[in-house]
Structure 1
Amino acid sequence: METKTRSVVKAVLWNLLGLAVMALVGLIMTGSIAVGGAMALINAALGLSMYFIYERVWDGIEWGRDA
C-alpha cells in the first residue's frame, strides 16, 4: 500500500512534467507565452487534483495485486 505522502510526491512530479509540456504546446499553438502559461497552470491544477484522487482510489482496489 502506498502512503498519502508518496501519492502526493508522485502527483506533483508528474504535474511538473505536464506543466512544462503543456506550456510548450500552448506557446506553439497560440504564439503567446501568457496564454500558453495560463493553459499550463489550469491544466496542472486540474491534473494534480484528478491524479491524486485517481491514485487514492486505485490504492484501495485489490484487483491485480500479488499477495
Structure 2
Amino acid sequence: MILNQIVFSKKTQNNRFEVDKTSEKPLRSVAKAVSWRCIGTLDTLIVSYVVTGAIELAASIAFVDFLTKLILYFFHERIWNHIKWGK
C-alpha cells in the first residue's frame, strides 16, 4: 500500500514536471529581475548614501549595482527554471 502511494505520487509529480517545464517564459524572468533590482537598488542607494554621505557617489554605486545584478539574476532564474527539484 505504501509502495503504491509512492509510485502513484511519483507518476503524478513527473507529469506535473512536464507541464511546468515551460511555464516560466524569459520575459517573466526579465520582469522579475527588474522588479527585484528596483528594490535592491533603492536599498543600495540608501546604504551607499549613509556610508559615503555623497548622493552622486551613492547613485553611481547603485547604478552599477543595478546593471550587474540584473544580468546575474536573469541568468540565475533561467538556470533554475531548468532544474526540476522542488517543482
Question: So what's the TM-score if we normalise by structure 2?
Answer: 0.72
Max Rg structure: 2
Task: Provide the residue aligned with 2:30 in structure 1.
Answer: 8
Percent sequence identity is 35
Moved over 6 A (4+): none
Task: Provide the residue aligned with 1:42 in structure 2.
Answer: 64
Q: Matched residue of 1:62: which SS?
A: coil
Provide the alpha-carbon RMSD of the alignment.
0.7
Question: So what's the TM-score if we normalise by structure 1?
Answer: 0.93
Task: Provide the residue aligned with 1:54 in structure 2.
Answer: 76
Structure 2 unaligned regions, length at least 5:
1-22
